[in-house]
Amino acid sequence: MIENMQEYKKSVREMVSQRLDLTRNVSDEEIQETISQIIAEESGRKYMSLSEKKEIMESVFNSMRGLDVLQPLVDDPGITEIMINGPDRVFVEQNGRLYQKDVNFGSNEKLENVILNIVSKVNRTVNEANPIVDARLLDGSRVNVVLPPIALDGPTVTIRKFPEDPMTMQKLISYGSITPEVAELLERMVKAKYNIFISGGTGSGKTTFLNALSNYIPKDERVITIEDSAELQIKGVANLVRLETRNANMEGKGEVTIRDLIRSSLRMRPERIVVGEVRGAEALDMLQAMNTGHDGSLSTGHSNSTKDMLSRLETMVISGNSIPIEAIRQQIASALDIIIQLSRLRDKSRRTVEITEVAGYENGTIKLNPLYQFKERGEDREGRIIGGLERTESAMVHREKFHMAGVSDKV
């Protein structure tokens, strides 16, 4: 039985560093083999149980090549989000609820080493001069880092886990997020090249829904995806181009923005453009792409309602362009066909709460035509909300794309 496990792991790591020249490109297999040899030698001098050997092996390797004490949380498929508020406060989201974990990095320095390990693998940098960065893990999980002095209580890291299996509409149906009827309608809308915008609050499942929706795209089309951190998992499309933004370097040069990528994508003969999320002036470029023959484009944005999303789009466009508000509204009305509103309800479930047609522009306002709205019918014994999307009495106005694609226009 090892009395001070932390100290023992530290000594094993030091022995590995002495035996291997870590300045050269050492493989994971070499590190694992060296750790295994050291543990075998040490167990001849000091008794170790099988579980202790396994713990030391995994912990030392994770501290050198993985994410240290964070690795077990990243590997746990039940955890969807990891929040690190300094070296000794780690929270996770599991089954829609937050829990504090008994995980401790020991020091800011150790946590910062893990952060540098994460960002360097995707060619990003983070330091005092550039204390905020968005990155991703090698499995695609989204990472946001904020360093001191901006983060007052130590380095802050938020990891949005990447699902091993791509989200599908069938899974969303099984979770109760949408109905089979709505899924079938959305499939026809994607095939008919309606421009669809997904809006919702933080954690409402926008990227997940976009991923599911994008898998309705016909497999013979040329699709270009544009993201801050690559998360989308579009399967089966052979002619797929994936683009990701890049931060500026230490000299403040070399930045590649969403806006740059949208403009470049227009010269790449896209049939569809999928923009992971619009947050600023690039909204204008996305709208113009939708208005210039790139029908069937998809994107997402933050908002609490469909009307709020339109206001936010207006604000985004105004923030980087001197265009009259009337012209902006006309652009939005002619570019967007459908807005899907997602929400996280009080029982922590993620639901589709509205599917609205952008019906046109009239008298200075964008006309909205709700097709489906979420109706709550009560709660079950566990407090889960009972309800779902129900068809409104409004008829869909623009059915031309259905006709042109040769698919049913039943709504």
341 and 197, same domain (yes or no): yes
| pLDDT at position 66 | 65
> For residue 347, is it within any domain?
yes
Task: Tell me the per-residue pLDDT of 332-391, one tens digit each, with 9 for 90 and over.
Answer: 999 999 999 999 998 888 899 999 999 999 999 999 999 999 999 888 888 889 999 999
E strand or H helix that includes residue 371: strand 365-379
Q: How far is CA 274 from the centre of its chain?
A: 14
- 400 shares its domain with 334: yes
Give me the CATH number covering residue 79.
3.30.450.370
- In this predicted structure, what is the pLDDT of residue 234? 86
Q: Are residues 288 and 385 in the same domain?
A: yes
**55 vs 270, more confident:** 270
Q: Do residue 177 and residue 256 come from a single domain?
A: yes
The answer to whether residue 371 sits within a structural domain is: yes
CB 92 within 8 A of CB 82: yes
C-alpha–C-alpha distance, residues 178 and 180, integer Å: 7
| 157-205 confidence digits (pLDDT tens) | 999 887 777 778 999 999 888 999 999 999 999 999 999 999 999 888 8
Query: Which pLDDT score is estimated for 51?
Result: 84
Does pLDDT of 50 surpass 70?
yes
When pLDDT is cut at 50, 70 and 90, the band that residue 107 belongs to is: confident
The verdict on residue 270 lying in a domain is yes
Instruction: Give the pLDDT band of residue 295 (cuts 50, 70, 90).
Output: very high
Domain assignment present for residue 410? The answer is no
Quick one: 109 and 179 in the same domain?
A: no
Tell me how far apart the alpha carbons of residues 41 and 117 are, in angstroms, rounded to a whole number.
29
Which of 42, 65, 88 is where one domain is finished?
65
Q: What angle do helix axes 306-320 and 282-291 make, rounded to 10 degrees? A: 110
Q: Are residues 188 and 269 in the same domain?
A: yes
Is there a single domain that holds both residue 57 and residue 78?
no
pLDDT at 323 over 80: yes
Residue 136 has pLDDT above 70, yes or no: yes
Structure tokens at 142: 């989204």
- Boundary of a domain, candidates 127, 160, 193: 160
Number of structural domains the chain divides into: 3
Amino acid letter at 114?
A: V
Both 50 and 85 in one domain: the answer is no
Residue keyed to tokens 């994971």 = 28
Residue closest to 297 by CA, chosen among 161, 405, 181, 190: 190
Same-domain pairing of 261 and 331:
yes
| Whole-number pLDDT of residue 395 | 94
Which one-letter DSSP state was computed for residue 111? H
Query: Residue 317's closest CA among 278, 366, 356?
Result: 278
Selected residue with higher pLDDT from 65 and 382: 382
Nearest Cα neighbor of 273 from 259, 246, 294, 302 is 294
CATH value at residue 224: 3.40.50.300
**Domain of 39?**
5-65
Q: Is 152 a domain residue?
A: yes
Where does a domain end: 44, 65, 86?
65
DSSP state of 28: H
CA distance 247 to 252: 9
pLDDT over 90 percentage in the chain:
50
Same domain? 193 vs 173: yes
Indicate the pTM of the whole model: 0.78
- What is the strand order of the sheet 272-275 is part of? 240-244, 223-227, 272-275, 298-302, 196-200, 338-344, 350-362, 365-379, 385-391
Q: Residue 319: pLDDT above 90?
A: no
Task: Give how far the C-alpha of residue 191 lies from the chain's centroid of Cα atoms, to the nearest Å.
Answer: 24
Per the model's pLDDT, the better-predicted residue between 201 and 248 turns out to be: 201
Could you tell me which residues are beta bridge partners of residue 112?
none
> Are residues 312 and 246 part of one domain?
yes
- Residue 340 falls inside a structural domain: yes
- Average pLDDT on 211-239 reads 90
Same domain, 21 and 145: no
| Distance set, CA 280 to CA 103, 318, 379 (Å) | 37, 9, 39
74: exposed, middle or buried (Cβ count in 10 Å: 0-12, 13-18, 19+): middle
